[in-house]
């Protein structure tokens, strides 16, 4: 997918940073930050409107996953009939506090946070099923690696491991009931989110504007999430400067405070056994100093709640929901003090009546306004979004359209919000191109070994120029070294309504080893080099389907590098073909899918009239489908076949079998024939579980059952000659791509051990 850094690399970087959550060095305040026009940011000073004058303020501190404890505190406050007059939050406290201020009940907030797929939130990928077919094919072709931007200043990297696209969409969906509210004082409870101007180190109080964006800024942990750019100010996690924003609540005029501190404790000396641990401790010490200074200002009328969260980490969302009970327990322990804030039944019911989400039906979209100042391809986004005009707003439908565009990989983010102008309701969409683009360099490396003397490496360098026109023209160049060596250049031009059609011109050279095998013996080995050029037209009617047709010409050279040249001479053969095919793909993951299916049916006609050696016709088919999946276990079925009719003299019409999960146990590409049949069942178990993926790499245990063979002619096909095979493997989904270590056995006594990189799904290249 997608996209920026490889998703798993992002998770690794996130782990290193999120271990400290919002515990970051407090930069000394500089000059007061200017008030922003979009989301109003105010320097810390008394608010003249004092919306909480004489009332009770709820102050929710930052702490990452530890902040889930705030929900338990809110539940107990409601049981005790304790109303509050305003809410102030930092980081996770801004999420919980913002939802509470908007009118959600603690039970609703609990259900919402429980339903979150945190792995998806801590990723910028919209999910593979939402991607267009080009992006899906890219995932199958690309080995893992790192992406850089290329510009006049050299190589560039993004400002964070994540851009926060999925987090922003989640917050926008949650807060749609209050989309009309621009002044946070007009929420059911006045609310303030605290962020930090990373340029000055000053705390910034967000009081007006786009509420989801304000909360997004407050939780933007540096190096994990990119800063939120609000009219020249780069805003990051408020915990850097004010993790427990007591002063903000005082400035709103609050007479009494209920403060919830979920900061991480200092580690004992025995746990300070690495540079990362020492750095984390140093930052925690500095952060605690500022927090304790704020807490020291609390008076006898205030209540401080500190849930006992033990060693729960700020990034440990897998176990975060135990914090709800701890928050409740801490509030129960302070019930005598909290009852001083309680009101009677009538007053409580009146407060509840005011503290509710706004009602009403979803609005009809009267217009779409796509802000194009920050994107070369804004007209394409506008074309795709115009279909929303006249329809009742649906967040799911809008998200799907945005996900399709975002998944194409050239956007830093695509934000949207509902707006009102002159009595009409509109959808305002702001696509922002990657600030480190529009040219990108991706590098990747993988290794392979069958422990029988066939070891190799695969290096990839890809240079991609994007946004060459308003429809998203790209010029992609790829250099491969190692087991498969070569170079390919491709010009890709979308066109038509919503860029559903495309044309591409491509050319290049590729070389790969092809053994000549008899039984268990390798008799010779050729280095097969293919030089080709071609053109293709295609139509993607939906994100799941592609129809394509094209033609290509080229030449294959067979250079003998192992064997007797008198028996196996080197030679060259030209080819020319036209092809047409249909592809479907709605798999949810390119490497270890858990739902969906992919099929590819292609007909190719090799023609002497176009410059080939002979005439031949070939139909090729592949099919992979997830048959069954539960929480951790998956069964994937696959079929592959081809049949050739014609002269039988076109080498390019041959199919190959052999290698890991392609008749495991055999040497890679050991079988070559014009007729091919192959089937497999692959089962794999996620040993880590989906929750663990937030802070680690998925680890799998799997096995396969396989059968297949090749024949030279259709009359020779005999399914009694099928070769049966199987494998057992362990696999790691790493930043460099999936890594498999396994053993395969095929009938006839073939047993091979494998170290292999690559996806379970293989794409047919015409």
Helices 211-218 and 165-174 cross at an angle (nearest 10°) of: 130
31, 107, 22: which is closest to 61 by C-alpha? 22
What is the structure's pLDDT at 11?
A: 39
Beta strands 160-162 and 223-225 are: parallel
* DSSP element (H, E) containing 695: none
Query: How many residues are recorded in the chain?
Result: 766
Contact between residue 363 and residue 417 where contact means Cβ atoms under 8 Å apart? no
Does residue 538 form part of some domain? yes
- Last residue of a domain, which of 296, 331, 354? 354
Greater confidence, 392 or 276?
A: 392
What is the structure's pLDDT at 317?
A: 86
Least confident of 377-381, 444-448, 738-742, 757-761: 444-448
How many angstroms separate the CA atoms of 754 and 448, rounded? Answer: 7
Beta strands 474-482 and 455-465 are: antiparallel
Record the pTM: 0.84
Question: Sign of the CA dihedral 699, 701, 705, 708?
Answer: positive
Q: Across the chain, what does the average pLDDT equal?
A: 88
Which tens digit of pLDDT belongs to each residue from 493-544? 999 999 999 999 999 999 999 999 888 788 999 999 999 999 999 999 999 9
How many angstroms separate the CA atoms of 182 and 186, rounded? Answer: 8
Greater confidence, 532 or 360?
A: 532
* DSSP element (H, E) containing 55: none
* DSSP element (H, E) containing 276: helix 275-295
- Last residue of a domain, which of 354, 385, 418? 354
217, 156, 224, 233: which is closest to 435 by C-alpha? 156
Which tens digit of pLDDT belongs to each residue from 651-660? 999 999 999 9
- Last residue of a domain, which of 314, 331, 354? 354
The DSSP 8-state label assigned to residue 27 in this structure reads P
276, 259, 270: which is closest to 315 by C-alpha? 276
| CATH number of the domain where residue 573 is located | 2.40.160.50
How many angstroms separate the CA atoms of 285 and 274, rounded? Answer: 17
- The answer, yes or no, to whether residue 20 has pLDDT greater than 60, is no
How many angstroms separate the CA atoms of 226 and 415, rounded? Answer: 14
How many angstroms separate the CA atoms of 3 and 158, rounded? Answer: 11
Does residue 243 form part of some domain? yes
* Cα atoms in the Cβ-side hemisphere of radius 13 Å centred on 323: 34
- The answer, yes or no, to whether residue 14 has pLDDT greater than 60, is no
What is the structure's pLDDT at 290?
A: 80
Which tens digit of pLDDT belongs to each residue from 464-480? 999 999 999 999 999 99
Which tens digit of pLDDT belongs to each residue from 151-163? 877 888 888 888 9
Q: Using pLDDT thresholds of 50, 70 and 90, give the confidence band for residue 360.
A: confident
Mean pLDDT of 325-335: 96
What is the structure's pLDDT at 21?
A: 38
Mean pLDDT of 475-491: 95
What is the structure's pLDDT at 363?
A: 94
Does residue 426 form part of some domain? no
Does residue 106 form part of some domain? yes
What is the structure's pLDDT at 542?
A: 94
Least confident of 445-449, 602-606, 611-615: 445-449
Annotated catalytic residues are: 91, 237
Does residue 460 form part of some domain? no
Q: Using pLDDT thresholds of 50, 70 and 90, give the confidence band for residue 186.
A: very high
High-pLDDT (> 90) share of the chain, %: 68
Cis preceding linkage at 449, omega within 30: no
Which residue range forms the structural domain that includes residue 296? 56-124+167-354
Does residue 418 form part of some domain? no
Mean pLDDT of 743-765: 87
* Cα atoms in the Cβ-side hemisphere of radius 13 Å centred on 79: 12
What is the structure's pLDDT at 49?
A: 61
Residue 678 backbone dihedrals phi, psi, to 5 degrees? -155, 140
Does residue 237 form part of some domain? yes
What is the structure's pLDDT at 254?
A: 94
Does residue 653 form part of some domain? yes
| CATH number of the domain where residue 232 is located | 3.40.1090.10
- The answer, yes or no, to whether residue 297 has pLDDT greater than 80, is yes
Which tens digit of pLDDT belongs to each residue from 684-736? 999 986 544 444 688 999 999 999 999 999 999 999 999 999 999 999 988 77
- The answer, yes or no, to whether residue 39 has pLDDT greater than 60, is no
Contact between residue 148 and residue 74 where contact means Cβ atoms under 8 Å apart? no
Q: Which pairs count as long-range contacts for 393-401, CB under 8 Å and 24+ apart, including other chains?
A: 393/362, 393/363, 393/364, 393/365, 393/418, 393/425, 393/427, 394/362, 395/172, 395/173, 395/176, 398/427, 399/169, 399/173, 400/130
Which tens digit of pLDDT belongs to each residue from 341-351? 999 999 999 99
Q: Please count the structural domains in the chain.
A: 2
What is the structure's pLDDT at 506?
A: 98
């Amino acid at each position: 997918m997608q996209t920026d850094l490889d998703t798993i690399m992002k998770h690794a970087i996130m782990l290193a940073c999120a271990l400290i959550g919002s515990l970051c060095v407090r930069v000394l305040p500089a000059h007061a930050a200017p008030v922003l026009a979009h989301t109003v940011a105010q320097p810390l000073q008394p608010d003249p409107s004092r919306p909480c004058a004489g009332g009770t303020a709820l102050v929710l501190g930052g702490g990452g996953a530890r902040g889930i404890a705030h929900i338990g505190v809110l539940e107990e406050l409601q049981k005790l009939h304790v109303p509050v007059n305003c809410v102030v939050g930092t980081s996770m406290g801004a999420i919980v506090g913002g939802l509470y201020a908007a009118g959600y009940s603690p039970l609703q907030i609990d259900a919402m946070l429980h339903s979150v797929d945190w792995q998806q939130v801590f990723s910028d990928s919209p999910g593979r099923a939402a991607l267009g077919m080009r992006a899906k094919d890219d995932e199958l072709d690309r080995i893992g690696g790192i992406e850089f931007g290329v510009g006049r200043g050299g190589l560039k990297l993004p400002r964070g491991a994540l851009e926060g696209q999925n987090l922003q969409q989640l917050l926008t969906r949650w807060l749609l009931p209050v989309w009309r509210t621009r002044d946070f004082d007009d929420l059911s409870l006045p609310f303030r989110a605290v962020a930090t101007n990373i340029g000055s180190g000053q705390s910034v109080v967000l009081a007006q504007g786009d509420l989801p964006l304000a909360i997004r800024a407050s939780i933007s942990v540096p190096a994990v999430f990119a800063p939120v750019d609000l009219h020249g100010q780069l805003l990051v996690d408020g915990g850097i400067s004010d993790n427990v924003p007591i002063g903000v609540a005082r400035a709103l005029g609050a007479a009494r405070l209920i403060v919830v501190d979920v900061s991480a404790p200092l580690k004992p000396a025995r746990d300070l056994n690495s540079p990362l641990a020492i750095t984390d401790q140093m930052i925690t010490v500095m952060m605690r100093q500022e927090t304790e200074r704020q807490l020291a200002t609390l008076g006898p009328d205030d209540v401080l709640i500190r849930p006992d969260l033990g060693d729960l980490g700020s990034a440990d969302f897998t176990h975060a929901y135990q914090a709800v009970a701890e928050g409740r327990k801490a509030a129960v322990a302070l019930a005598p003090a909290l009852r001083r804030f309680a009101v009677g039944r009538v007053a409580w019911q009146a407060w509840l009546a005011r503290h509710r989400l706004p009602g009403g039906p979803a609005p009809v979209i009267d217009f779409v306004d796509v802000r194009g100042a920050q994107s070369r391809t804004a007209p394409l986004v506008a074309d795709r979004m115009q279909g929303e005009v006249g329809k009742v707003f649906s967040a799911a439908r809008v998200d799907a359209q945005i996900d399709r565009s975002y998944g194409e990989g050239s956007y830093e983010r695509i934000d949207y919000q509902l707006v009102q102008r002159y009595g009409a309701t509109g959808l305002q969409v702001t696509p922002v191109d990657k600030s480190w683009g529009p040219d990108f360099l991706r590098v990747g490396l993988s290794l392979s070994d069958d422990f029988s003397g066939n070891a190799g490496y695969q290096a990839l360098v890809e240079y991609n120029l994007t946004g060459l026109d308003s429809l998203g023209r790209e010029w992609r160049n790829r250099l491969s070294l190692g087991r498969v060596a070569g170079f390919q250049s491709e010009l890709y031009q979308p066109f038509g309504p919503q860029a559903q059609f495309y044309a591409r011109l491509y050319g290049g050279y590729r070389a790969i080893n092809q053994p000549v095998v008899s039984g268990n013996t390798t008799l010779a080995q050729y280095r097969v080099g293919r030089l080709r050029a071609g053109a293709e037209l295609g139509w993607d009617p939906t994100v799941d389907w592609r129809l394509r047709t094209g033609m290509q010409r080229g030449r294959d050279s067979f250079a003998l590098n192992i064997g007797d040249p008198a028996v196996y001479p080197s030679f060259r053969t030209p080819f020319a073909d036209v092809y047409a095919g249909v592809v479907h793909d709605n798999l949810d993951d390119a490497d270890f899918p858990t739902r969906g299916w992919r099929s590819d049916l292609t007909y190719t006609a090799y023609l002497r009239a176009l410059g080939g050696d002979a005439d031949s016709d070939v139909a090729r088919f592949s099919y992979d489908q997830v048959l069954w999946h539960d929480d951790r276990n998956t069964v994937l079925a696959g079929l592959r076949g081809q049949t050739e009719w014609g002269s039988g003299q076109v080498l390019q019409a041959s199919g190959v079998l052999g290698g890991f999960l392609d008749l495991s146990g055999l040497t890679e590409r050991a079988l070559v024939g014009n007729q091919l049949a192959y089937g497999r069942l692959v089962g794999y178990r996620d040993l880590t579980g989906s929750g663990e993926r937030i802070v680690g790499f998925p680890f799998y245990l799997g096995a396969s059952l396989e059968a297949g063979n090749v024949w030279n002619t259709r009359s020779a096909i005999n399914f009694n000659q099928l070769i049966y095979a199987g494998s057992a493997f362990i696999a790691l989904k790493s930043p460099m791509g999936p890594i498999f270590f396994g053993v395969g056995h095929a009938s006839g006594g073939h047993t091979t051990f494998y170290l292999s990189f690559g996806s379970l799904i293989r794409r047919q290249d015409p």
